Amino acid sequence: MAFPAPRTQIMRLYFLGIGGIAMGSVAIACHRLGYTVSGCDSGVYPPMSEMLASCGIDYANTYSADHIIGFAPDYVVVGNAISRGNPALEAALDGNMPLLSMPELLRWRFMLRAQRLVVTGTHGKTTTTSMLAWILQQCGLPTGYLIGGSVPQLGESCKPAPEGGFFVLEGDEYDTAFFDKRSKFLHSMPHVLIITSIEYDHADIFPNYESILAAFGNVTKLVPSSGLVLICGDDPGAALVSRQSLAPVQQYGLSAHCDWQASIIESTTDGTQFHIRRTGTSVGNFRIQLHGEHNVRNATAAIAAASALGLEAHRIAGALETFAPPKRRFELLCTWNGAVVVDDFAHHPTAIGATIQAARTRFPSRRIIACFEPRSNTSVRAIFQRELTDALASADIAIICPLYRGDRYAPEERLDRECIQRDLLDRGIECHCIPESSNWGDNAFALLRSIMSDQDVLLLLSNGNIGGLRQRILRAATSETQTPQHQEQSSRTEQEAAQG
C-alpha cells in the first residue's frame, strides 16, 4: 500500500490508541514533521499525556466517535490493540476514512528512503535497539529510530530518519492491526536484521512455537542478498530460521563457534567489561553500564551491526561506554529502608532468570527477592508452569502476585500459582502467593515491608503496573528521604497507579 500524498503535503493524521508509547511517540514525530495530529485512547497517562500536551497535540481521553468526526482526518492510524466495536473505529469506517496501520505509516513516511536496521527477537529488543541507535547517533551518522520503550538518554522514542540516513527499528513479532494479522516486522524491509532469540511467546496470536519460527523465517527472507543477518549463535531458534536467509549470516554470542565472540573480562558494581573476537581476530575491549550475560550479547549484536556500517571499534566502544539503559530494563528505582528496588519488564521465564542472574552479579552479597506479576497473555497461562518455577528458584525469596485477568481462561488453562509455591518450598525457597483481591497491591506492599531488610534487593518483575507497587514503594521511599526528585516522581505516577 502506497501513501498517495506527496511527502511535502501537510496531512491530518488521527491516531487510534495514541496513549501507547509507540503510537504516541510516532504521533509526536509526525507532528514535528509538519502533520496535523490528533487521536484518542481509553486513558492517556504520564509521561505520554505530558509529552502530547507539550507539543500542543489535542486528544480525547476516551474512544470518541464525535472527536474523530470533528477532526476529519485524511488518514486514521490504527493501533494493534484496536478492534471492531470501538466507537472511534466504527465512526471511521462509517465515514469512509482511510485506515493505515502504524507499521505502514513507519515504512512509507519514516523508513523508505533510509537504510533500515531492524532488531527482532523474543528478548532484548528494546535494549539492543537503544544501544544501536545511541552508537550510530554518537558516531555522527544521520539516524532515526523507533524504540518500544522509554529511553531518556535519547530524549524521544521515535525520530524520523533523514533521507539517505539510517533507521533503527525495534521489530515486533506481534500482529499489525485488526485488518492485518501479519507480524509488524514484516513491513520493515530490513537491510540489516538482528535476531536476538526466538522462544514461544504471545500465546494469544501464535498457536505454537512453529508459528513463531515461521514469522521470523518470513522476515529473514526479506533481507536482500546485499544485506546482513546477525543472529545470536547461542540461541537454537535463531540459528534455525537463519537457514532461510539468502543474505550473508553472521553469528554473535558467547559460544566459541560465533563469528563475533564475546568473553567477559570483569563484572563490577559499575558494569561489565568484555572482549570481542571476530573469526578469531581481536576486535577490542568494550564496557557497558549493564550487568548479565544477556546484556553482553545485546551489546555484541549492536557492535556487529555498527561495524557492518563501517564504524571503527574504538568509536563504537566510546559510544557504548556512555550508553544508559531504557527505563524498566533493570532500572534502579529507589532505595527503600536500605533495600535496593529494581524495576524490570521481565515476564518470560528466560528474562526473569536473566534478571535475577544480573542482580546477583550487580549485588553479590545481598538477598534477592523476586516479586512477579503474571500479566501477559502467555504468563497467565500454564504454558510455562515448570519454566517459571525454575526461573523463580534462582531467587532467595519469590512473591507471586495474582494473575492479571486470569478469568479470560478456563481454570485448567491458568498458571497454577499454588503449585509453583509448593514446588519452591520443597526446594527450600521461601515463596508467598498474594491472595486475589481488589487491593492486592496494598497486601503485597505490607508483606514486602514485613520481610525486607536493608541487605535485600527487590526485583519488580512485570510488563504492567504490578498492582501499583511501584508507586507505593516510591511514595514510601520519598517519605523516608523527602527529596524533591522523589516527591515529583511519586506525584507524576499517581494516575498510572489507577491503571491497576
Tell me how far apart the alpha carbons of residues 490 and 494 are, in angstroms, rounded to a whole number: 7
Q: Which residue has the higher pLDDT, 113 or 210?
A: 210
Question: DSSP letter at 384?
Answer: G
CATH of the domain at 66: 3.40.50.720
Helix (H, G, I), strand (E, B) or coil at 322: coil
Question: DSSP letter at 185?
Answer: G
Are 370 and 424 found together in one domain? yes
Are 305 and 352 found together in one domain? no
**pLDDT for the residue numbered 382:** 85
**pLDDT for the residue numbered 46:** 79
**pLDDT for the residue numbered 70:** 96
CATH of the domain at 422: 3.90.190.20
Whether 86 is in a domain gets the answer yes
Whether 6 is in a domain gets the answer no
Tell me how far apart the alpha carbons of residues 442 and 466 are, in angstroms, rounded to a whole number: 11
Q: Which pLDDT band, with edges at 50, 70 and 90, does 484 fall under?
A: very low
Q: What nine digits make up the cell of 89?
A: 473505529
HEC string of 20-41? Answer: CHHHHHHHHHHHHHCCEEEEEC
Q: Which of 321, 356, 390 is the C-terminal boundary of a domain?
A: 321
Residue with grid cell 575491549, as numbered in its chain:
285
Domain count, the chain: 3
Cβ atoms 191, 116 nearer than 8 A: yes
The average pLDDT across 249-272 equals 94
Are 317 and 335 found together in one domain? no
pLDDT at 261 over 60: yes
CATH of the domain at 314: 3.40.1190.10
Q: Which residue has the higher pLDDT, 104 or 204?
A: 104
Strands of the sheet with 12-16, listed across from one edge = 58-60, 36-40, 12-16, 75-78, 99-101
- Give CA angle at 212 (206, 215), nearest 5°: 110
**pLDDT for the residue numbered 479:** 81
Whether 3 is in a domain gets the answer no
pLDDT at 299 over 50: yes
Are 90 and 49 found together in one domain? yes
**pLDDT for the residue numbered 204:** 84
Q: Which of 292, 321, 350 is the C-terminal boundary of a domain?
A: 321
**Tens-place pLDDT, residues 75-85:** 999 999 999 99
**pLDDT for the residue numbered 9:** 67
Whether 1 is in a domain gets the answer no
One-letter amino acid of 6: P
Whether 378 is in a domain gets the answer yes
Tell me how far apart the alpha carbons of residues 170 and 187 are, in angstroms, rounded to a whole number: 12
Are 85 and 192 found together in one domain? no
**pLDDT for the residue numbered 48:** 87
pLDDT at 236 over 90: yes
Are 144 and 247 found together in one domain? yes
Are 160 and 296 found together in one domain? yes
Are 270 and 166 found together in one domain? yes
Q: Which of 57, 80, 97 is the C-terminal boundary of a domain?
A: 97
**pLDDT for the residue numbered 34:** 93
Are 213 and 80 found together in one domain? no
Q: Which pLDDT band, with edges at 50, 70 and 90, does 92 fall under?
A: very high
Q: Which pLDDT band, with edges at 50, 70 and 90, does 316 fall under?
A: very high
One-letter amino acid of 365: S
Cβ atoms 264, 222 nearer than 8 A: no
pLDDT at 490 over 80: no
Residues in the chain: 500
**Tens-place pLDDT, residues 435-469:** 998 899 999 999 999 999 999 999 999 988 888 89
Helix (H, G, I), strand (E, B) or coil at 277: strand
The alpha carbon of residue 367 and the mean position of all alpha carbons in its chain are separated, in whole angstroms, by 27
pLDDT at 488 over 70: no
Are 225 and 348 found together in one domain? no
Tell me how far apart the alpha carbons of residues 390 and 120 are, in angstroms, rounded to a whole number: 26
Mean predicted lDDT score pLDDT of the chain: 90
Q: Can you give the residue range of the structural domain that contains 368?
A: 331-497
Are 135 and 274 found together in one domain? yes
Name the region of 151 (left: φ>0; alpha: ψ -120 to 50; beta: rest).
beta
pLDDT at 201 over 50: yes
Are 453 and 312 found together in one domain? no
The average pLDDT across 247-276 equals 95
The average pLDDT across 54-72 equals 95
pLDDT at 301 over 90: yes
Q: Which of 394, 472, 474, 385 is nearest to 427 (CA)?
A: 394
Radius of gyration of the chain (CA): 23
Whether 143 is in a domain gets the answer yes
The average pLDDT across 71-100 equals 96
Q: Is the N-terminal amide bond of 47 cis, ω within 30° of 0?
A: yes
Whether 199 is in a domain gets the answer yes
Whether 309 is in a domain gets the answer yes
